[in-house]
Chains A and B, each alone.
Chain A
């Protein structure tokens, strides 16, 4: 069965510092991987996705993630944090085809001025 593990339920960084949110996956088939952001009382916004093309994926708002099969990881990074990045971030995995997403527990990102 597929699963994702997000290391760290809460990450705090200073404004301008590197953001690194960790995600490891488990899948029996080549996975599709996603990062979503959720602001309070709102739905999910797709940041980026990996669907077996380039292993380094660039997303919106300056975020990017690298798919590393050998490490079964898909960590999310941003070179310089902004206050507006403070939110909940979810890593998710799915099988190919019309299948639902399996979400990690989420990581809350706080950005300190």
Chain B
């Protein structure tokens, strides 16, 4: 089956620093990757849609200058949390899809998530 990895699996950083999270599709090419955020004991909320070679599309309320997304290749998307603050502490999960065409089900494969703690 298709595998998506994330690195790091957990990170602790000081307030004001930037943190980069990588999402890789290991055995397939993903033209689209999605970034979700999950606060403790809550559901997953879509942050942004990342398409290879183009700018990410952010959901309402998500600051694009704070959460920088780069999808430079068909197997790698990165999320950089800039000037992180304690309220950014969360579980960040990415997913990648194998494109099969419009109107057809595209299964999403989820990464294992990255736990970010900002002190």
Chain A residue numbers with a CB within 8 Å of B108 are: 94, 100-101
- What residue in chain B is nearest A90 (Cβ atoms)? B43
Cα separation A106 to B106 with both chains bound (whole Å): 23
Binding site for A on B (CB under 8 A): 6, 31-32, 34, 36, 42-46, 49, 91, 93, 95, 97, 99, 101-108, 110-113, 115
When A42-B113, A44-B93 are in contact, do A105 and B43 touch as well, CB less than 8 Å?
Answer: yes
Number of interface residues of A (CB under 8 A): 23
Binding site for B on A (CB under 8 A): 32, 36, 41-44, 46, 49, 51-52, 90, 94, 96-106
**Secondary structure type dominating chain B contacts:** strand
When A90-B43, A103-B43 are in contact, do A43 and B110 touch as well, CB less than 8 Å?
Answer: yes
Chain B residue numbers with a CB within 8 Å of A101 are: 34, 44, 46, 95, 108
Chain A residue numbers with a CB within 8 Å of B106 are: 97-99
Cα separation A90 to B103 with both chains bound (whole Å): 24
Cα separation A101 to B43 with both chains bound (whole Å): 12
When A41-B115, A43-B93 are in contact, do A100 and B43 touch as well, CB less than 8 Å?
Answer: no
In-complex Cβ contact of B112 among A42, A97, A98, A99 (8 A): A42
Name 5 interchain pairs, CB-CB below 8 A, sorted by A. Answer: A90-B43, A96-B105, A97-B106, A101-B44, A102-B46
- What residue in chain B is nearest A92 (Cβ atoms)? B44
